[in-house]
């Protein structure tokens, strides 16, 4: 059984904004979501998804969570693909991607952070 050890999260600071790239398996761009503070109770999010892909379910949630935590614009690009996964394996992939996001958010402390701490 594949343990999905290759799921990764890359972090890039672009000015004040944050770009997160989450990939695994056959890496690609499946969905892109950008969330930004809007002066409302919750950030707004905009998502684009390549037809036939399901990554937007994760990218929009991850972008919103990161934008709320960091109070800045966050774009999340996700492209994860493994052939012939069962429902349980899909759940596991989602859990691992979410864990990568949680580790990232625990590493950065709003409202300021040391970009040298994220490698």
Q: How confident is the model at residue 111 (pLDDT cuts 50, 70, 90)?
A: low
Select the more confidently predicted residue: 20 or 110.
Answer: 20
Which one of 34-43, 50-59, 105-114 scores highest in mean pLDDT? 50-59
pLDDT in tens, 53-65: 999 999 999 999 9
Q: Is the dihedral of CA 89, 95, 99, 101 positive or negative?
A: positive
Angle at 35 between CA 96 and CA 50, to 5 degrees: 65
What pLDDT does residue 116 have?
Answer: 39
């Amino acid at each position: 059984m594949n343990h999905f050890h290759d799921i990764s999260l890359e972090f890039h600071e672009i000015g004040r904004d944050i770009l997160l790239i989450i990939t695994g398996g056959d890496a690609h761009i499946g969905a892109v979501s950008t969330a930004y503070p809007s002066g409302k109770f919750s950030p707004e999010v905009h998502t684009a998804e390549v037809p036939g892909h399901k990554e937007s379910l994760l990218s929009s949630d991850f972008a919103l969570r990161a934008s709320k935590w960091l109070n800045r614009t966050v774009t999340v690009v996700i492209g994860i693909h493994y052939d012939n996964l069962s429902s349980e394996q899909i759940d596991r992939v989602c859990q691992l991607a979410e864990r990568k996001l949680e580790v990232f958010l625990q590493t950065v402390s709003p409202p300021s952070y040391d970009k040298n701490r994220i490698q």
